[in-house]
Amino acid sequence: MPRVLVVDDSVVMRDIVRAHLAGLGLDLDFAASGEDALSRLSNGPPVDLVITDYAMPGMDGMTLARKVKEKSGTLPIKIVLISANKELRERDLLGTGLLDAFFPKPIDGSQLAARVSALLALSVQSPVVPSSRRARAAIRVVVADDTEVGRTLLARILKVDPEIEVVGMARDGQGAVDLAVRENPQLILLDALMPGLDGVAATRRIMALAPTRVVIVSDQQGGRPAAQIFAATEAGALDVISRPGWGDPMGPQAVALREKIKMLSEVPVVRRWSDAPRSVRSRRGVRPSSFQRATVISICASTGGPAAIAALLPGLAPVASSVPILIVQHVLAGFDEALAEWLTEVTGLQVRLATHGMPLRAGTVLLAPEGRHLLAQSPNTIAVVEGPPVGGHRPSGTPLFESVARHFADGALGVMLTGMGTDGVEGLRAIKAAGGSVVVQSPDSCIVSGMPGAAIARGYADSVLSLDEMAPEIVERVRAPARSRH
């Protein structure tokens, strides 16, 4: 599997490039600066291609390209430069001999995917998602918002893309339900806070009458409104996105929103987990005596994660007082505290937002704060650090998993839940190397199977279980007898 490193100081642009390359079968990694990229090239697995922004704080893209070429020796790494600088000329840039391709922003996704395929000599059978989208019918989207301003803003952003068709706009939750039944859209953008039938109730009714991909749009932060948003994910909403500002419909926020819609439109429609029986099924015949005792539980999740965590934690109650539980969940800015409060309310466990220097002890369930990495600083202390994003994420599951591997060795248990991308997968490698164990949610039970699928593909999973099977096995791993070290 070809490995590609995407370098950009903008999270939005990293997500856009990720979306354009999503169908090529690549192993994608991400860096937030030239310095971060060089560190990953020196200390990580071999890289076949680097896609880098030109203008970044510190080292610019051309300087990075020169250093990469110097380091790559007889097997030069391919380099693609992207830039919004209108004064840059492709002929001049390619004439330096440092670059293999140049793309101006906004990026044409199909051209980027085609060029990357050519540079890496990918098989023609590899699915190129961006180009295939042009040949299919437009993605049918319903917009639901109780304000005319909100509806107009979203419709304006969506309508500039010929691959997206706004087939209806609703001013309340009941209108969204009616449009879901009548128009059969592929995706509904739904405001969480509307009079009458709110986002939670509307999502629940849509999933019952006309199961559809629901994405919650919010500009609310903190308090009960934010908690209500997470309740909508438990009811069946796929994800939560920030409402873009008016700005330019071709600006990075707008582009990122459209690309997110395109990615989520390909996610299979899954009814909420609570519709399925929660009874424990047989767990593939693994005997408790074969388990290594887990002394810490570390969890990573992304898209679909809040509902998955809410379903998992109650099953861990029998051992919640015996081990610390550490959680990384990718969440919108300003919603981390609300997520902790909501998880406390719906799971019956006390979930707290982690702070730097907190004791790390049994009986604590700690959630990584937005914009900071959560680490085990020692076997007894928590660290919460800003640090550079890892693979485009902060918080990221990789530093959490690496830290518990370092301090808990074979007692480290990594749990990978639903999520888009590959965050946390490299950290699972550290847990396995330390003798710890890894439990992965089965892809067929995930809202988005990217992260669990990547963990399985790399051979890191000790157990692959559906969501309702995971808690009983984790409990058995915590209760397993300690192995002799002699």
Q: Which CATH superfamily is domain 291-479 in?
A: Methylesterase CheB, C-terminal domain (3.40.50.180)
Dihedral angle over CA of 448, 427, 477, 305, nearest 10: -30
Q: Is this prediction's pTM over 0.85?
A: no
Catalytic residue among 33, 218, 265, 302: 302
Architecture of domain 3-132: 3-Layer(aba) Sandwich (3.40)
Predicted confidence at residue 74, as pLDDT, reads 65
Predicted confidence at residue 131, as pLDDT, reads 40
> What are the strands of the beta sheet with 351-353, ordered from one edge?
351-353, 365-367, 325-329, 296-301, 412-416, 437-441, 463-465
3-132 against 137-269: fold identical: yes
Is 242 annotated as catalytic? no
Residue 238 burial by Cβ neighbours in a 10 Å radius (0-12, 13-18, 19+): buried
Catalytic residue among 53, 161, 239, 423: 423
> Beta-strand (E) ranges in 90-235?
101-104, 139-144, 164-170, 187-191, 213-218
Predicted confidence at residue 226, as pLDDT, reads 64
Q: How far apart are CA 477 and CA 414, in angstroms?
A: 11
Catalytic residue among 9, 53, 198, 330: 330
* Per-residue confidence in pLDDT tens, the chain, 486 aa: 889 999 998 877 787 888 788 778 888 899 888 998 998 888 888 899 999 999 888 899 999 999 998 887 667 899 999 998 878 888 888 888 899 999 988 787 778 888 899 899 875 443 444 444 444 578 999 999 998 888 888 998 998 888 899 999 999 999 999 999 999 999 999 987 888 888 888 999 999 899 999 998 887 555 455 667 788 888 888 888 877 776 667 777 788 788 888 888 878 776 544 444 333 333 444 444 467 899 999 999 998 899 999 999 999 999 999 999 999 999 877 788 889 999 999 999 999 999 999 999 999 899 999 989 999 999 999 999 988 888 878 999 999 999 999 999 999 999 999 998 889 999 999 999 999 999 999 988 888 888 999 899 889 999 999 999 999 999 999 998 876 554
Q: How far apart are CA 214 and CA 233, in angstroms?
A: 9
> Residue 325, SS3?
strand
Predicted confidence at residue 485, as pLDDT, reads 53
Predicted confidence at residue 248, as pLDDT, reads 67
Query: Given the structure tokens 């929103």, which residue do they identify?
Result: 257
Domain ranges for the chain = 3-132, 137-269, 291-479
Predicted confidence at residue 286, as pLDDT, reads 44
Is 330 annotated as catalytic? yes
First and final C-alpha spacing in the chain:
40
Residue 124 burial by Cβ neighbours in a 10 Å radius (0-12, 13-18, 19+): exposed
Q: How far apart are CA 426 and CA 211, in angstroms?
A: 35
Q: What's the CATH number for 137-269?
A: 3.40.50.2300
